Every structure is written in C-alpha cells, then in structure tokens.
Structure 1
Amino acid sequence: MAVVLLAASAAVLVLLRVNLEHTVETGAREQALVVARLAAEGHLPGQLPLDHGTDFVQVVDADGRVVAASQNLSGRPALAPTGTADGHDTYNLGDLGEEHHQRVTTVTTTTPAGPLTIRVGASLRTADTAEDLTTVALAALSGLLLLTVGALTWRAAGHALRPVEAIRAEVAAIGDRDLDRRVPDPRSDDEIARLADTMNAMLERLEAAGARQRRFIADASHELRSPLAVLRTQLEVAIKHPDPGVRADLVEGALQDTERLQSLATDLLLLARLDAAGNERSAEAVDLTELVHTTVRTRGAERHPVTVRTPAEVTVPGNPLWLGRLLTNLLDNAQRHARHGVTVHLDTDGTSGRAVLDVTNDGPPIAPDDREKIFERFARLDDARSRDDGGTGLGLPIARDIAAVHGGSLTVLDAPGATTFRTTLPTALPTALPTGQAPPDRR
C-alpha cells in the first residue's frame, strides 16, 4: 500500500508541476508576443508594463544594447544566460532580489531598426508553493490512509483468522485417544466453514478407523486365543495320557488346530497387505476366464458339484493371486452353505463394459439386514454353528477388499431360493481417481 501511494503521489506531483509550469510559460509567451508586435509596429515604449505573474521584461537589439525594459530592469545591462536547464536558458537574477524559480521566455522579432530579442521572466513562486502544499497534503493523507488501512487489515485479518486459530488449537489438543472431539464450526458460508467441515469429516473417518482397528484387534485376539487354548490342552493331555491311540488322536486334533491358526495368520497378513495396498492397482492383464476354470479344476472333488459358465475370454487388470483368492473364498463360502450345487457365471456387462462374476449356491438366502454384516471381519450369522463349519469370518471381508483394491465391488443379490455373490471388476485400468473422489470404503 505504501509503494502504491508513493507512486501515485509522485505521479500527481509531476503532473501538477508540468501543468503549472506550462500555464506560467504560456502567460509569459503571450506578453512577449505582445511586446514583439509593438516593436514590429514601431510603437515600443522605453519602459514596459508588467502583466500579472510576470517579473520582468527586457528587449535587446542585435548589438546587445537594451532597447526597452520593465521598471525593475531600468538602467541594467542585458541579461546573459548562465546555462541551460530543462531545455530553457537560465539567468542569474540574484541582483534583482529574485531568489525563487523563474521561467524566462525568449522571442525574436524583426523591426525596421533591425532584429530584437525579447526576454520575459515569469515567476514560478505560485507553482512552487502549490507543489509544496500538495506534497505536504499528500504525505499527511497517505500516512493517515496507510495507518487506517493497516489497522482495518489487521483487525479484519485477525477476525477472519480467529476461527482458523480455534481450529488449529483444537486439532493440536486432539490426541490418539480422544478422536471423538471435533473442531468448532464457525457457522458461516465461506472457506473457513468448509475447512472446519472437512476437518470434522476427517476426524470422523479417523475415529471410525480407530474403532475398526480396535475391534479388529480384539476379534483377532479372541480368535487366536481359543484355538491356542485348545491346542495347549490337547498337547498337555497327550503328554500325560498313557494310551498311544488316544495320544495319536490328540496330536491329530492339535495338528488341525495348528492348521487353523496358520490359516488365520495367513488371512490376517493378507488383510494387512490389502489395507496397505490402498488404491494401488496392478496393470497386469489377467485372463479371468482361464483363472475361473483353473481355480475350480485345482480344487479337486467338492462336497457339492460346481457348474461353470463363462464366455470365450474376459480379461481384467489385476493381481492373479489375489483374484484367485477372491474366487476361492467365494467358492468356500458357497460350498459351506449350499444344499446341492454351486454355479459360477462369468460375463461382461454390455452397458458398463465391466466384468461380472456371479457365484451362486442353492442354500438358504441371506436376510437383507445381514447382507452388509457378513462382510464385517470375524462376523458370523449363525453363532450356534461350529467353528469348523463356520470358518474364521474373514473369507468374505478379504474377498470384498480384493475387489475394492481392483476397483470393483462385491455385493449380495436377491435370488429366489438361492444366494448370489456378485463381483464386478473393470476391464480397463483407470489412470487415476477422479478429482475429489474418495477411495472405496473397504470395511
């Protein structure tokens, strides 16, 4: 603001000076032309009158003799220039007692007696006074304006940033154990209010993520504690039991529990890797048709027959090991709940162009209220069934996470007398998420 005011003030002073000097010079030239006209007509008096704003007049012939002059230069020799300034000759007027600035205008004319040079001096006292007064006024007004703008800016900025400071202080006070706190809402419709909303939304996501993590750790601890306790009991009994047959059965049971623990640890590790993967997607082309046939064929004999219906070829970008694990988990779940058979159907959606993989079993349908619960980690709809039949409760959550990492989805469809798990996957790898789109919720 100070730089702008300084530049504007300098421009005003320059324009004012130029305008005033032009006015003075115009008046002096007009009087010089009047004297020149009188000299040309032969009516030039010996003593010349002065107009308003004119300090002196002097007429000199070609030999340097003074022909006529104003009263204040009467009897004085011709003025001799002492130099040039601003394109005009300068004269020493100290003998006249004129210490202020002067503008001397020179006009040459031809008369019957020969050429004459007419010099008219006009005072710049008025221009100097006006410039001085304007400089003082501009300095005072600029200082006052600068102080006013500074005070208003300080107050406005402080008022505008007060909510930001409140948000910062609240965020700084939030620890890892009190994520239920929220930043204050300024209750305005501006960028700061949107910042507060964004911060509160982020805190809600952090609180939900922390709650899911704590619940996951608690569930994982519970799931690990039960087979470990059984395994220890079996081994302790096996050591002390005298019957070799019973001991062999106990060791075999301990081996089964060890395999269950190994499977659970593998699932937990895969979940951690999926959480770390985020939105990173593999660009490897996977022949989903061949993957379906290979996965079903390598499973060997099943409790219920599996029928596969696929088109000639469906290719998707992704990780073949993870996609194979997705199909394996869906088949395990279908085999667990089917009555007579399982159907795997792979096709391409003609509208969206996405790959659609349906795994259907003819078991009891899932209630609408439970269709999201089954995708929660360690969730089991039938608490009374055995753990051997019910699994670890991680198969479907892992399958949904794998689908989400590949940019797809896993849902349960309405089907009369059956349950269908539908997986949709993009057939082309997206370059990036659209601006402002949040990553998929892979709870």
Structure 2
Amino acid sequence: MSIRPGMFLPLANSIQARVTLAVAAVSVLVVAVIGIGLCLLIRHRVETEIFQETRRVATEWIGAMERGQIPPPMPTARVPLVQLVNSRGQVVAAGPMAGDRPLSAVRPTENHIEDMTECPKGKPCVMLTAARVPALQSQELWQGEPHYIYTGTDQPPAVRGHRLELLTSAGGVLLVTLWTWTTWRATGRILQPINTIRQRMSEIAPQDLSVRVPQPSGQDEIAQLARTANETLDRLEAAVTRQREFAAVVSHELKSPLAGLRTGLEEALLFPEIDARQAIVRSLPAADRMQQIIDELLTFARLRNTPCSPEPVDLGALVRAEAAARTAGVPVCTRTQPDVLVLGSRVQLASVVTNLLVNAQRHATRRVEVSAERAGAQAQVVVQDDGDGIDEKDRERVFEPFTRLEAGRRLDPHGSGLGLALCRAIAVAHEGSLCIEDSPRGARFVLRLPLMTG
C-alpha cells in the first residue's frame, strides 16, 4: 500500500490521538519507574532473607565449635552449602552438597562477615556468606591457623540473571498497552458526541435552519456545548426569520408608494396634455413617504448595529422639554422628580419621548399625562392617554416593524409603522425596556432604564 504525503495528518491533528499519545508517554514513564523500583525491591528482599539465613547458619556453626572438637556441618533446606576452609584453601569439613572445592576465595578479616554472590563458569550462581572463625577458637582448635566458614545456597530463579527484569518489562509493556488502548477507546467514546455535533452542524444550510444537534443527557461539558449550540441555532433561526419577514414587509411597504410614483410619471409621459409640473407635484407625496420609510429603516438598522455614545441625561428635564414642545393637539401634563439621571444618548431618548407623546396625543380624548421618576434602581417614564387603549393581544404586536392597528391607520394614514419599533430598539440599546401595562382607561406606555450610578 502506498503512503501519500499528509496521509496521517488528520490522525496527528486528532484530539483522541494526542491524548492517547500523551497518556502512553506518561504511562511508559510511570511504569518504568515502578518497574525499576519493583525489581530493586524484590532483589533486595530476596537477598536480604537469604543472607540473613546464611549468616544464622554460619554463626550457629561457629558457636558450636568447642575445645578440640569440630562439630559436623549443619546445613538446612534453605542453606544446603556449608564449608570450613583453612588458610591454604583446603576444605576441612563440608556438607554433603558443598563439594570438596572451596566455595569462594574471599578471606574476610576477623569479626567481619561478608555477603557475596559467586558465579562460577558453567555453573549456577551461588549466594554466600563468608565468616572467619574467631582467633580464640582458632587458637584452641588449629594453633591459631585462620579458618573460614562459607554458607550459601543457589541463587533463586526469580533473581537469576535478568529474568526478573524481563518479566517486569513484559508486565510493564502489557500494562502500558492496556492503558493506552483503554485511553483510546474512552477518549473516542467521549469525543463521539462532539463528532456527531460537528457532522450535524455541517448539514445546516441557509435554506433550512431548523436542524438541531443531538443533545446528550446530563450536565457535563458536552451536554452544555450541545445545549448552547442549539440555543445559538434557535437565536440564529429566529434572527434570520425576522430578517426575512422584515425584508418582505419592507418590500411590501415600499411597493405601494413606488407604484404610485411610477404611475404618475408614466401618465405624464403617455399623455402630453397633462401638465408635467402638476404630475411631479402629485408624485412628491409618494416620494416623501418612500424617503420617510427609508430614513426610519436606516435609523432602525443603525440602532441594532451601532452602539450609542453615552452621556448623563436628566430624564425629568428631558420630559419637561419635550412636553413643552407639544403645543398642538390635546394638552400634555407632566409630573417629574429631580435628578432622574441615566446614561445614554440624549437625542435617541428624546426621540423615544417624542414618539410616545405624539402617539398618545393622536389617540387621546382630552389629555395626556407623562411622568419621570425613580423606581428602585431604575428610572421610569410613563406616558398615559385617555383614549380607547390597546387590546392585550395587540400590546406586543404594536412594537413590531410596520405593524399598524386599525385605529392607527384611521388616525394617521401616512404613518410607516416604525415609530414604536424604533422606541423599543432604543430602549433595548440602553439596557432598558418599553412595554404597555394595564390601565383603567387609555394606553399606558412605560419606559424603564437603569439609573446612573457613581
């Protein structure tokens, strides 16, 4: 099979592969340290137990030696090799398994015991303890000639050669392999929902935004990611739907004045007897309406996409100034508190108050009441008229762009239906709210904005 350049790039970039490799590297290091420590511990433990036994046998034989008498060797099952060797290297006494040749050439000094491992050529290694017979006993038994005792046993298979290291390495390799395989499978299962989410996200097209990613149960990070992705898709679908509806409504609203404008101009071209100046004059209202709609649409889009430049605004003074400017129509009564300060755009907030007052005067019978006061941590502006009011089912619809109720169309035939939508957009841009609340008579518009602190 030919290997193409970049063939392993997806695997190298895989989180599963990187995590598995990292765990494998750490596990190799950990297992190596544990294996080395385990080998040293086993060797030390085995050798310590054997040398303790060989020393015991050697000291007991030395202690059993009396004047003029050498007791026979006292080998045990664990220490079968026992020898007594003189200074010339001759075996004086030995156990049945020790043979007639010295087990070692090591000659320890008096009152000193040496532990060693001898490995004769072609024979198994032997673990020995070499001890010198004390001078007092040597004087009594051999006229002071030094004698040496060797006690030992064959090296156990567990520590013979490199068998222990090989067994430990094999166990370590098996453990690392199992650990790495488990990590690969576990990481794959953990990342499987993410791969599913990625595949489902790749299927989402602009024509169909209703597709949602599968959401696992629980509260872990993957479940929260899926939940957040679905919430984002919900908002995206809602925004695109609003955008499409908005574009459709804009097209519909612009179609009527554009058709009227085109009709007037074509009529002037088709019929020479029609005065061109009068045709232009008759077409100007349609052009004015188109300009009004376009200006309000630009303002609406600017509010959604461009943050305002904040400044301290006294809502009480702003309400009094805007109410004083409304000299035409039904009278406007004001009630304000001093120092109702908010942070925002004075021009935009004045536009909200003006729109609300114009709307209230249009529907009022005798008077309009407007107030600006504090309400906890918020500033509250209330515009109340004494007209027919707005049905509860229509209280949210009136804030949608180009939505005009029957009463509004009758009282203001040339309106665009964007005024209240602009007011709410400005309120939201100032981290506030604009809504219609219950009232005994008429419509009660309530604007709430956070009070300026500090």
> How far, CA to CA, are the matches of 1:169 and 1:364 in structure 2?
55
1:23 aligns with 2:52: no
Secondary structure of residue in 1 paired with 2:302 = helix
Partner in structure 1 of residue 18 of structure 2: none
> How far, CA to CA, are the matches of 1:320 and 1:155 in structure 2?
61
- Is the contact between residue 80 and residue 91 of structure 1 (CA under 8 Å) also seen in structure 2? no
> How far, CA to CA, are the matches of 2:168 and 2:417 in structure 1?
81
- Is the contact between residue 44 and residue 68 of structure 1 (CA under 8 Å) also seen in structure 2? no
Partner in structure 2 of residue 437 of structure 1: none
Partner in structure 1 of residue 385 of structure 2: 361
Of the three residues 294, 303, 319, the one matched with 1:292 is 319
> How far, CA to CA, are the matches of 2:42 and 2:36 in structure 1?
10
1:180 aligns with 2:205: no
1:312 aligns with 2:338: yes
| Aligned positions, number | 414
> How far, CA to CA, are the matches of 2:119 and 2:301 in structure 1?
97
- Deviation, 1:142, is 4.8
Of the three residues 395, 403, 421, the one matched with 2:419 is 395
- Is the contact between residue 28 and residue 122 of structure 1 (CA under 8 Å) also seen in structure 2? yes
1:337 aligns with 2:366: no
1:408 aligns with 2:432: yes
**Change in CA separation of 1:77 and 1:176 when aligned onto 2, cut-off 3 Å:** closer
- Deviation, 1:198, is 3.5
- Is the contact between residue 35 and residue 44 of structure 1 (CA under 8 Å) also seen in structure 2? no
- Deviation, 1:147, is 4.8
Secondary structure of residue in 2 paired with 1:411 = strand
> How far, CA to CA, are the matches of 2:117 and 2:370 in structure 1?
111
1:230 aligns with 2:260: yes
Q: How does 1:206-221 map to 2 (within 5 A)?
A: 206-221=236-251
Q: How does 1:371-386 map to 2 (within 5 A)?
A: 371-382=395-406, 385=409
> How far, CA to CA, are the matches of 1:282 and 1:202 in structure 2?
29
Secondary structure of residue in 1 paired with 2:381 = strand
TM-score (norm 2): 0.77
- Is the contact between residue 423 and residue 434 of structure 2 (CA under 8 Å) also seen in structure 1? yes
> How far, CA to CA, are the matches of 1:383 and 1:88 in structure 2?
115
CA deviations 1:322-361 (Å, max 9, x no partner) are 2222222212222222222222100101xx3210111112
> How far, CA to CA, are the matches of 2:292 and 2:50 in structure 1?
104
Secondary structure of residue in 2 paired with 1:385 = helix
> How far, CA to CA, are the matches of 1:77 and 1:305 in structure 2?
127
Secondary structure of residue in 2 paired with 1:359 = strand
Partner in structure 2 of residue 275 of structure 1: 304
Partner in structure 1 of residue 4 of structure 2: none
- Deviation, 1:397, is 1.1
**Change in CA separation of 1:386 and 1:60 when aligned onto 2, cut-off 3 Å:** farther
- Is the contact between residue 316 and residue 373 of structure 2 (CA under 8 Å) also seen in structure 1? no
Q: How does 1:238-253 map to 2 (within 5 A)?
A: 247=277, 251-253=280-282
**Change in CA separation of 1:295 and 1:308 when aligned onto 2, cut-off 3 Å:** same
Gap runs ≥5 in structure 2? 1-23
1:34 aligns with 2:63: no
**Change in CA separation of 1:206 and 1:78 when aligned onto 2, cut-off 3 Å:** closer
Letter in 1 for 2:320: H
1:52 aligns with 2:82: no
1:370 aligns with 2:394: yes
Partner in structure 1 of residue 196 of structure 2: 166
> How far, CA to CA, are the matches of 1:312 and 1:144 in structure 2?
81
> How far, CA to CA, are the matches of 1:79 and 1:46 in structure 2?
23
Partner in structure 2 of residue 111 of structure 1: 136
Letter in 1 for 2:230: N
TM-score (norm 1): 0.78
CA deviations 1:287-318 (Å, max 9, x no partner) are 22222233334x45322222221111111122
> How far, CA to CA, are the matches of 2:68 and 2:430 in structure 1?
109
- Is the contact between residue 343 and residue 361 of structure 1 (CA under 8 Å) also seen in structure 2? yes
Letter in 2 for 1:266: D
In terms of mean alpha carbon deviation, does 29-38 or 42-51 score higher? 42-51
Secondary structure of residue in 2 paired with 1:9 = helix
> How far, CA to CA, are the matches of 2:313 and 2:434 in structure 1?
18
Letter in 2 for 1:268: L
Secondary structure of residue in 1 paired with 2:150 = strand
Identity %: 32
> How far, CA to CA, are the matches of 1:77 and 1:194 in structure 2?
75
Secondary structure of residue in 1 paired with 2:205 = coil
Partner in structure 1 of residue 105 of structure 2: 79
In terms of mean alpha carbon deviation, does 23-32 or 199-208 score higher? 199-208
Of the three residues 256, 281, 290, the one matched with 1:261 is 290
> How far, CA to CA, are the matches of 1:88 and 1:420 in structure 2?
106
- Is the contact between residue 366 and residue 386 of structure 2 (CA under 8 Å) also seen in structure 1? yes
